[in-house]
Structure 1
Amino acid sequence: MRRTLLALALATIPGLGAAAGLASSIGAVTVYQDRAVVTRAASSELPAGEHELVLEKLPASLQENSLQVSAKSTGQATLLDVKVRDAYQADTPNERVKQLEEQLRGLEGRQALLDDEATVLDNQRELVLMMQRGATEPAKDGARLTLDELKAIQSLSADTLSKTLAGLRRVAEQKAALDRDIAALQNELGQLQNALGRRTKTVTLRVNLARAGKLDLNLSYAVAGARWTPAYDARLRLADRSVELGYFGVIRQNTGEDWNNVKLTLSTARPALGGGAPTLRPWIIDVAAPPPPPRPAAAPVAKMQAEVAAERRARSSPAFAGGALDAAQPEPEAIAVSTAQVQNEATSASFQIKNPATLLSDNASQRVAITTAKLPATLQYQATPALREAVYLTAQASNNTDFPLLAGPLNTFLDDAFVASSNLKAVMPGEKVELAMGADEGISIKRQLVNRYTESTGFSGSGKRVTYEYKITVKNNKATKEQVSFKDRLPVSRNEKIVVKLLSPADREIKREDDGKLAWDWEMEPGKSRETVLKFSVEYPGDIEVSGL
């Protein structure tokens, strides 16, 4: 009774408004590669005076240090303070969890019906068996059944028993399927409940209005459990020698709240890296100090006395009084929070998705389109016949868009036929990009060992020379002129006594690269073949054994 009177008295004090739950909705979300920044909006008509506005059931992953509040009001409002606290819900606010719980209850209800049906069928089977036993074992004073009556009972019981057993099998199959569905739902529900928990956040805003008016609030905060990764589709159009590039963002989120019909932005900023480059610390080296001599083991009584004395000194010291020991421990650092308001276009890019998006908090992947571009391409065929006698098509293009292409998975298509899956390296605007389009049977390449022989060298024949000769043949089976580039290699000597010499082709016909690699760049006419001979020798003294030949 006293509490009720006190509450009524407080409510009648002028200028003090009771805490009011404020409905809010998510209007915009900016997703980073390791988090998201959510912006909520709320409005309320308030009288003059001080008010507490409560926003409930916010996600438990809300990072309190990232919370930002802005307000507009026609009543000359002042934001006094913002308080964030944990709250525990008896029910789960996540819609996906509610759907799974309802589905699970429905399956469990069907399971109970099947159990009842199985019980009825089992009783029916027992009744048939009792009828059969009664027909073959009549009572002592009863007359025996005739043969026709026995046949009729046998036919009836067999038909009934067959239908009963078929029903039991059907029920068992349906129960097994239901058990699998229930186990899958329970697994998904358990994962979501473990990720979400029953804990939520409640934000309480204390505002003061000089006069009655409308208050418009914007609340933004960072949450964990959200990320996006890039993905690409590249279609090579041979007719006009161009690449149609599709740039997508694959988003996953299990933040604990659904994003319904929100304005979505994908950011390339990485807040986890911090705002500046890390500071180098001195690298100190010194003469290692000798290990201290082992201390003699103290007697049990002496050791106990030493521990008691040490404890007394600690209690009498100023550091023990007033909690100074706790103060000496390092304080936790505030987490670095980056929001859309502080993004710098010089260091990151933001992709604003044109259409509103809906993403449920179920960790399912959802792909949204960022942009599409048509890039003029230069086609080149590449091969390494020493490893595989196949020619691979590559399309070399330039990123002529304003979008930085982040590293991510790439699906390549030749016109409308899927070719291969690979990965695209990061490509900034204006940089070159090379797309692997897979093997092309329209151009063939063959590498054949023509000759390999060993001979003696020197006046006394104490040296050895091993000569290799390969023939490489390329044929363009296409109706168009194409550029073909292929590579081979020479042995690389790690000893001055082992000498490798290139005998064919001449240096003007090839391009030498590091580690003995040789490159040929040919322009192949349609329907034509071309061949070259790779010949080299390896010379070394006869008294040493050479590995690798």
Structure 2
Amino acid sequence: MTPTCLKGEPVRRTLLALAIATIPGLGSAAGLASSIGAVTVYQDRAVVTRAASSELAAGEHELVLDKLPASLQENSLQVSARSTGQATLLDVKVRDAYQADTPNDRVKQLEAQLRGLEGRQAALDDEAAVLDNQRELVLMMQRGATEPAKDGARPTLDELKAIQSLSADTLGRTLAGLRRTAEQKADLDREIAAVQSQLGQLQNAQGRRSKTVTVRVSLARAGKLDLNLSYAVAGARWTPAYDARLRLADRGVDLGYFGVIRQNTGEDWNNVKLTLSTARPALGGGAPALQPWIVDVAAPPPPPPAPRPAAAPSAKPQAEAVAERRARYSPSLADAASATPEPAPQDIELSTAQVQNEATSASFQIKNPATLLSDNASQRVAIATARLPATLQYQSTPALRPAVYLTAQASNNTDYPLLPGPLNTFLDDAFVASGTLKAVMPGEKVELAMGADDGISIERQLVNRYTESTGFSGGGKRVTYEYRITVKNNKTTKERVSFKDRLPVSRNEKIVVKLLSPADREIKREDDGRLVWDWELEPGKSRETVLKFSIDHPGDIEVSGL
């Protein structure tokens, strides 16, 4: 790539979009402090932008940005800059680095916390050892008092009482101390386990490995160089989450759109400009190419090999026999050359962070600066809010449950897609239920389940079931069912109620199912025998219907499902 000359005008020009292979050393170089200014998070990665500035003299300089995350994807590296010293970019180099101290501030804090906890644990062990020694000493005193020397005088009763009182008091304090230290050690063990668990999440297989980027520039004259470095890192993702709040007064849904972010990239994002993107760079820039689907006459299987005659025992040395078996069962060089070659590796497509289409993806720039530590903890940020006009409907399936459920049918009137994610629903300020929102593109309908509402009651009652003979000779049978369904609107507003029931479905032409009530004009028929009633009920009014059907079949067959 031809080096780019950087003019003094404040016009940002892209210098390089290339990462170069690892090099063994850098020679003399000037370390350059940098800070993360912006991060764009995707569903499977993040793009981090760092900024650095330096006053440089005329001549050639190597600017080193070290302790970058080991997950930095080298082929995603982008460098841009501006300068007042007429600078020229010479090259950009990337190498792996290993350091004695961990580059992550959060890991440093946890390691220091763990060392402190382990120090407290050692102190408790020492205290427990001293208390245990005191207990043994008291026990030795008691044994010495009750078992005097062979020629010694036995202690008097008052002396025994004094010894017993003293030892009991001392032993009681010692045992209490041992219990206290045991409880403290148990609490400390739990704290140590929690810190070690956090460290285990942060310290992945990369250990203390990091990346170092070296930018070599040449300045025609002294001046200031403002450098921007952007790169993609794995270990970051965001998922959507929603709060849907139905406002009954104005029949609208307040939809809250949130992003739940996790990152374990190896570097903390402190006070950064955060952007969440719905684009999916992992899918690549274009549709994959189809390979030919070959159909041909199958080749006949090769004939089985002829059986080999048993070889006579020979006196060959063992090593020579092993070499002969290897030569017999190993393919020759000619066979290897004639084998089908493996497909040649292809260059991976470079993922971009651009919005693919306004109708299918969007970028959300969070208004306030955000801080996210590299500890894989979830952090929820607000993305957007929207007011969706809703049509309310009450739905029920009384054959399964005598309850009426409120649903709000709304339309996505925003300019961005709603990705699949968990959904919390509220009725005004009351929490109703948790569920999942499916993907909803702009302009598409979305149905929100708002839970059961006792303001509408429904009852389904079996009125009659009887069996009778049919035909001139009574060779047939007919089973008749009759249900009464009653719906009452206990609200002060007119409401729309839709409920479903079902007819038996015959899988045999000798079994005939006939709907006797209601008439077809009063219902809507769906597949698999489902029937739908759609009513509008005035306030305080009730309405009922009768579901009646018959099942005819020959008397000499047994019908299942009745």
TM-score over 0.5 for the pair = yes
Q: Is this contact kept in 2: 1:234–1:410, CA < 8 A?
A: yes
1:106 matched to 2:116: yes
Structure 1 pair 418/115, CA: closer, same or farther in 2 (3 Å)?
Answer: same
For 1:145-184, list aligned pairs within 5 A. Answer: 145-184=155-194
Q: TM-score, normalised by structure 2?
A: 0.88
Structure 1 pair 348/304, CA: closer, same or farther in 2 (3 Å)?
Answer: closer
Aligned residue in 2 for 1:201: 211
CA distance in 2: counterparts of 1:435 and 1:379, whole angstroms? 10
Deviation at 1:179, TM superposition (A): 1.4
Q: Give the secondary structure class of the aligned counterpart of 1:537.
A: strand
Structure 1 pair 367/450, CA: closer, same or farther in 2 (3 Å)?
Answer: same
CA distance in 2: counterparts of 1:477 and 1:436, whole angstroms? 20
For 1:35-114, list aligned pairs within 5 A. Answer: 35-114=45-124
CA distance in 2: counterparts of 1:38 and 1:547, whole angstroms? 65
Deviation at 1:427, TM superposition (A): 1.7
CA distance in 2: counterparts of 1:531 and 1:308, whole angstroms? 84
CA distance in 2: counterparts of 1:153 and 1:511, whole angstroms? 97
Q: Deviations over 1:273-315 (max 9, x none)?
A: 111222233333333322211223667798766789934x699
Aligned residue in 2 for 1:322: none
Aligned residue in 1 for 2:431: 418
CA distance in 2: counterparts of 1:281 and 1:546, whole angstroms? 53
Structure 1 pair 80/347, CA: closer, same or farther in 2 (3 Å)?
Answer: farther
Aligned residue in 2 for 1:428: 441
1:330 matched to 2:344: yes
CA distance in 1: counterparts of 2:499 and 2:521, whole angstroms? 16
CA distance in 2: counterparts of 1:308 and 1:163, whole angstroms? 79
Aligned residue in 2 for 1:7: none
1:464 matched to 2:477: yes
CA distance in 1: counterparts of 2:380 and 2:264, whole angstroms? 16
Structure 1 pair 293/328, CA: closer, same or farther in 2 (3 Å)?
Answer: closer
1:542 matched to 2:552: no
Deviation at 1:195, TM superposition (A): 5.3
Deviation at 1:404, TM superposition (A): 2.0
1:339 matched to 2:353: yes
Structure 1 pair 214/480, CA: closer, same or farther in 2 (3 Å)?
Answer: same
1:310 matched to 2:332: yes
Amino acid in the other structure paired with 2:288:
P
Q: Is this contact kept in 2: 1:196–1:255, CA < 8 A?
A: no
Structure 1 pair 201/305, CA: closer, same or farther in 2 (3 Å)?
Answer: closer
Unaligned regions of 5+ residues in structure 2, if any? 1-25, 312-320
CA distance in 2: counterparts of 1:195 and 1:367, whole angstroms? 28
Q: Deviations over 1:180-206 (max 9, x none)?
A: 221222222123212552111111111
CA distance in 1: counterparts of 2:187 and 2:325, whole angstroms? 69
Q: TM-score, normalised by structure 1?
A: 0.90
Q: Deviations over 1:38-87 (max 9, x none)?
A: 11111111112222111111111111111111111111112122111111
Percent identity of equivalent pairs: 84
- Please point out which of 233, 239, 244 is paired with 2:243: 233
Q: Is this contact kept in 2: 1:67–1:219, CA < 8 A?
A: yes
Deviation larger for 26-35 or 120-129? 120-129
CA distance in 1: counterparts of 2:37 and 2:53, whole angstroms? 13
Q: Deviations over 1:310-366 (max 9, x none)?
A: 34x699x9x9xxxxx9x98623522432124x7554552101110010001110000
Q: Is this contact kept in 1: 2:83–2:224, CA < 8 A?
A: yes
Aligned residue in 1 for 2:536: 523
Deviation at 1:457, TM superposition (A): 2.1
1:380 matched to 2:390: no
CA distance in 2: counterparts of 1:17 and 1:305, whole angstroms? 52
Deviation at 1:497, TM superposition (A): 2.8
Amino acid in the other structure paired with 2:223:
G
- Please point out which of 8, 15, 32 is paired with 1:22: 32
Q: Is this contact kept in 2: 1:222–1:337, CA < 8 A?
A: no
Amino acid in the other structure paired with 1:333:
D
CA distance in 1: counterparts of 2:158 and 2:385, whole angstroms? 84
Q: Is this contact kept in 1: 2:279–2:361, CA < 8 A?
A: yes
Aligned residue in 2 for 1:3: none
Q: Give the secondary structure class of the aligned counterpart of 1:194.
A: coil
Amino acid in the other structure paired with 1:364:
A
- Please point out which of 166, 189, 195 is paired with 1:185: 195
- Please point out which of 358, 364, 373 is paired with 2:371: 358
Deviation larger for 138-147 or 86-95? 138-147
Amino acid in the other structure paired with 2:420:
A
Amino acid in the other structure paired with 1:172:
A
Q: Is this contact kept in 2: 1:17–1:51, CA < 8 A?
A: no
1:267 matched to 2:277: yes
Deviation larger for 425-434 or 74-83? 425-434
Amino acid in the other structure paired with 1:248:
F
Unaligned regions of 5+ residues in structure 1, if any? 1-15, 320-324
Q: Give the secondary structure class of the aligned counterpart of 1:189.
A: helix
Structure 1 pair 328/445, CA: closer, same or farther in 2 (3 Å)?
Answer: closer
Q: Is this contact kept in 2: 1:402–1:429, CA < 8 A?
A: yes
Structure 1 pair 391/81, CA: closer, same or farther in 2 (3 Å)?
Answer: same
| Structure with greater helix share of residues | 1
Deviation at 1:393, TM superposition (A): 0.8
Q: Give the secondary structure class of the aligned counterpart of 1:291.
A: coil
Deviation larger for 119-128 or 273-282? 273-282
Aligned residue in 1 for 2:381: 368
1:349 matched to 2:359: no
Deviation at 1:24, TM superposition (A): 0.9
1:389 matched to 2:397: no
Q: Give the secondary structure class of the aligned counterpart of 1:290.
A: coil
Amino acid in the other structure paired with 2:486:
T
CA distance in 1: counterparts of 2:287 and 2:268, whole angstroms? 36
- Please point out which of 418, 422, 429 is paired with 1:405: 418
Aligned length: 524
Q: Is this contact kept in 2: 1:407–1:426, CA < 8 A?
A: yes
Q: Give the secondary structure class of the aligned counterpart of 2:181.
A: helix
Structure 1 pair 117/529, CA: closer, same or farther in 2 (3 Å)?
Answer: same
CA distance in 1: counterparts of 2:523 and 2:529, whole angstroms? 12
Structure 1 pair 287/47, CA: closer, same or farther in 2 (3 Å)?
Answer: same
Deviation at 1:32, TM superposition (A): 0.5
Structure 1 pair 33/161, CA: closer, same or farther in 2 (3 Å)?
Answer: same
Q: Deviations over 1:105-161 (max 9, x none)?
A: 111111111111111111211221222222223344544332222212211211111
Amino acid in the other structure paired with 2:218:
N
Amino acid in the other structure paired with 1:271:
P
CA distance in 1: counterparts of 2:219 and 2:152, whole angstroms? 100
Q: Deviations over 1:167-222 (max 9, x none)?
A: 11111111112112212222221232125521111111111212211111111111
Amino acid in the other structure paired with 1:367:
R
CA distance in 1: counterparts of 2:330 and 2:419, whole angstroms? 63
Q: Is this contact kept in 2: 1:510–1:520, CA < 8 A?
A: yes
CA distance in 2: counterparts of 1:382 and 1:92, whole angstroms? 59
Structure 1 pair 23/284, CA: closer, same or farther in 2 (3 Å)?
Answer: same
Q: Is this contact kept in 1: 2:359–2:441, CA < 8 A?
A: no
Aligned residue in 2 for 1:452: 465
What is the root-mean-square deviation in Å for CA atoms of aligned residues? 2.5
